[in-house]
Structure 1
Amino acid sequence: MLTEFPKLFVQTSRDVYAVGAYSCFALIIIVFLITDYLKYKPVLIMDGICGVMAYGSIVGHPSLLRMQIGQVFYGFFFSSEVAYFGYLYAMTDDKRYYQKITGQARAACLSGKFLSSFFAQLVSLVNGSVPYVELVYISIFGMLFSTVWAYMMPNVTNSIYFHNEKSETTDDTLPPVKNHTSSPNEPKTTENIESQPSQTKITKDINKDGDRTLGQVLLYLQKDFKRSYSDPYVRKLCLWWAFAFGAYVQVYTYINILYTYVLNLNEDTHFTLYNGAAESLNTLIGAIAAYSIGKLELNWFKVGDLFLGIGSILAGVVLLGCFFTRTMWFIYAFYIIYGCIYQTMLTVAESEVAKRLSRDSYGLVFGFNSFIALFLHTLMTYGIVQGNIISVSTIQQFLIYAVYYICIGAVILIFAVKNYFSSSATDSIIECKL
């Protein structure tokens, strides 16, 4: 029951983290448009400053109001992830490198999380206890360093929407997407007509000085949005991406609350917490798995639904383990496995989407998918965590997350079965004609 859980952690979960969820949702679209208008770099600098303010809000003995204000800064800090990817795309002229730099950026994020978690766990073991204050100051120093680093980065001369010097009519059609399958003798290449991106010509209306007006920007955003999501394959992957990411943010946010909740249920005051080690292994193994899956040359158009469906169900089963077990070691292991499964599936979904978008669309699609994910995160925070729709304990939250993933997997598997029979019927018709 919730009454058995320490009031401090209940208040942290419901009154502090919830503010961060609402802030992320409210700011992500605003940040996306401001980022493009300011040409990315000022937002990167502001992102570092907001990180300093977020960590600074928990120094000493903060009041509830101070922590909530800190969560507002954290909301901007989290939402500004769009700016990092947008900066990379704006600095890259050749779209062929988008997938590569996206993978490198994700690997950098996971590596940073691994190193920070590993360092925190190492310091805690050496110190004999968790040096919370010292770790907060180290985090503040890290954010200050990233702010200075962002200031030293080169400026962006053009952005995608507000500042674009290209005025010609361009054909944003991508070259045919080829799905490769290997055989023992020689590589075999097959093309799926259904999986090809739609061909659309976009006229980029801009002023003589290279800047678009707000009306032109909104019109181009509308065209870009329709063009990006006109492909059913992209829509399906983006829906999975948004729904899976929304649940991942929930799991990532409340996993530490679950650790404390389980220790409280067990009345265990002697267990040494290895939260940092679990987080570092989660990110390290996830990065290795994501890198490995990215090297596989499979026909993801054919096997992607099956992969995402089974993977989502496995993620749900692993989270079910977090609900049923009361052993901390098992919970750590389940969380690490969950992170590995999620990062692997996300890599496949992101790379497949990136292959099929026009040159300027990836930042928009990433931002919109994140917006949907944060909307779901906010909805779950309001309805489940704060108990406005259903009142559950922290451990029961993970039961809901598990069922959520299993449902996602079931829906994707339905698509897999449908595509299998559709392709089989098409092959039979072709054979009959031959």
Structure 2
Amino acid sequence: MSAVLPSLVLCVYGFFSSMRPSEPFLTAYLMGPDQNLTETQVVNEIYPVWTYSYLVLLFPVFLLTDFLCYKPVLVLQACSLLVTYVMLWQARGLQAMQLLEFFFGVATASEVAYYSYIYSVVEPAQYQRVTGYCRGVTLLGSAVGSLIGQLLVSVAEAPLLTLVIITVASATVAFVAPWFLPTPRRSLFFHRSSGPAEDLASSGSSTSPARQGEESESTSMVSRSSVTAGGSRGLREVLQVLLEDFLQCYRSRLLLAWSVWWALATCGYFLVLNYAQALWETIHPSREGLTLYNGYVETLATLLGALAAFLVGYLPLSWSVWGELVLCVLSLLMAVCVLVMDLLKDIWVCYGLYVLFRTTYMLLITMATFQIAASLSMQRYALVFGVNTLVALLLQTLLTVIVVDSAGLGLDVYTQFLVYGAYFSVISVVFLLAGLCRLTSIRRSKQDQAGVPAEPCDGPTGPCRNT
């Protein structure tokens, strides 16, 4: 199957599904005259529903995506996005907005279909290129949507309801696009057209020599656990393969370290992004006629994040030695950003530090992606990505229940951001200790190698030992 048509359709879908002019102004819209909801309702009762629905749906949708060969779940995601923004436009009231958040959770959980579909219709040699296209076009769509929204608010003085209507139009175009996709005949787990060892060899052909031993072990293990690789598998067999792969993957110390950071930091990142607009609205309330610049901020953060992700590949650093300490320093920077935003309560400081926070996260998550993907097949990368995201959502749900939800502490937004800043500080301390342990281990290893005596030799006067 030619990759041109599906790649083009996916790019169209990714652009329009991400182009949401209303997104940077969502909190202001919900708390404004169109919806007339209170801060407590928006922050403590509506937004948490997305976290809960995303968590509950993530694993079932992950399996369903593979079983149905992606396209039906892509259509489901497009439909959920359209329902979400039609409800935002037409529906009113607390319960309606909570139901809206559920549909958005369905759309978010279904995102795995967008990033998985292309791997079923192109050859492994094209994975990197088409992944770049798909991810790049979603970032472009997000940036364009934010910029359009800001220009309409600042220049045209358009009401926020107009942004919601444009978002509905964009979601309608996105809804049409996936129907034109061809249906794949294979998938990563349930329906395979070639053996796993073959797939591993293809996708791992560009890995470094230092990791080829691990790849060989991975290949043989999957081969043993996948007897029916050439056809369809049942649910039980797929779950068994996933469990065996899970145990094999997380035995690697390097992969485990990056995965732990991924899960911990993504949890905090989601929380900050979810409630940043609530913090801005509290500091700089649009209800008092103050001009919002959220769209410019989101556009700049998206573009700088994309640039940071691009520059990661050019950083000359030995990640196996210094990786934990880099994670420590940059996690501390993220903690400082969150705490200063909260303590100074200045909208321009908040805007600037939010951009720095998102750029730093995009830099680090791209590093983590490279480090994890370099030693894994596409099948195992999908598994590790799913597990890391699931752990992040479990942590996010726990913090949401305790800190945000009205059923828990129901803290105000200022206190919430103190908690999030402290959370990133703890992450920094964890990886400081891990980095110091790593450096100590390397130093001891070098000392042990330097102190090992050479092999004995026979000299003219008898046996001798070089030291």
Alpha carbons 1:37, 1:159 under 8 Å: kept: yes
Amino acid at match of 1:111: L
Any idea what SS the aligned residue of 1:364 has?
helix
1:38 aligns with 2:68: yes
Any idea what SS the aligned residue of 1:333 has?
helix
Amino acid at match of 2:187: S
Q: Which runs of 5+ in 2 are unaligned?
A: 1-35, 455-467
Aligned in 2, Cα 1:268/1:47: closer, same or farther, shift over 3 Å?
closer
1:419 aligns with 2:438: yes
Amino acid at match of 1:220: V
Looking at structure 2, the residues matched to 193 and 157 of structure 1 have their Cα atoms a distance apart, in angstroms, of 31
Looking at structure 2, the residues matched to 193 and 419 of structure 1 have their Cα atoms a distance apart, in angstroms, of 19
1:293 aligns with 2:312: yes
How many residue pairs match? The answer is 412
Any idea what SS the aligned residue of 1:361 has?
helix
Q: How does 1:34-433 map to 2 (within 5 A)?
A: 34-60=64-90, 62-94=92-124, 98-99=127-128, 101-129=130-158, 131-167=159-195, 172=200, 174=204, 178=208, 199-200=217-218, 201=220, 202-203=222-223, 204-206=226-228, 210-263=231-284, 269-433=288-452
Name the structure with the higher helix share.
2
Looking at structure 1, the residues matched to 199 and 74 of structure 2 have their Cα atoms a distance apart, in angstroms, of 32
Amino acid at match of 1:25: L
Looking at structure 2, the residues matched to 156 and 69 of structure 1 have their Cα atoms a distance apart, in angstroms, of 32
Aligned in 2, Cα 1:421/1:176: closer, same or farther, shift over 3 Å?
farther
Q: Highest CA radius of gyration, 1 or 2?
A: 2
CA displacement 1:122-178 (0-9 Å, x = unmatched) = 11112225x222211211121121222222223211001111122576694756954
Alpha carbons 1:41, 1:87 under 8 Å: kept: yes
Alpha carbons 2:373, 2:381 under 8 Å: kept: yes
Alpha carbons 2:37, 2:94 under 8 Å: kept: no
Aligned in 2, Cα 1:288/1:354: closer, same or farther, shift over 3 Å?
same
Alpha carbons 1:205, 1:212 under 8 Å: kept: no
Any idea what SS the aligned residue of 1:23 has?
helix
Matched with 1:181 is: none
Aligned in 2, Cα 1:432/1:104: closer, same or farther, shift over 3 Å?
farther
Q: What is the CA-CA distance between 1:192 and the residue it aligns to?
A: 5.8
Looking at structure 1, the residues matched to 190 and 328 of structure 2 have their Cα atoms a distance apart, in angstroms, of 39
Alpha carbons 2:199, 2:377 under 8 Å: kept: no
Looking at structure 2, the residues matched to 93 and 25 of structure 1 have their Cα atoms a distance apart, in angstroms, of 32
Percent identical among aligned pairs is: 30
Moved more, 381-390 or 348-357: 381-390
What is the RMSD computed on CA atoms of the aligned residues? 2.5
TM-score (norm: length of structure 2): 0.82
Alpha carbons 2:46, 2:101 under 8 Å: kept: yes
Aligned in 2, Cα 1:132/1:401: closer, same or farther, shift over 3 Å?
same
Runs ≥4 residues deviating over 6 A: none
Amino acid at match of 1:159: S
Alpha carbons 1:197, 1:231 under 8 Å: kept: no
Looking at structure 1, the residues matched to 135 and 283 of structure 2 have their Cα atoms a distance apart, in angstroms, of 31
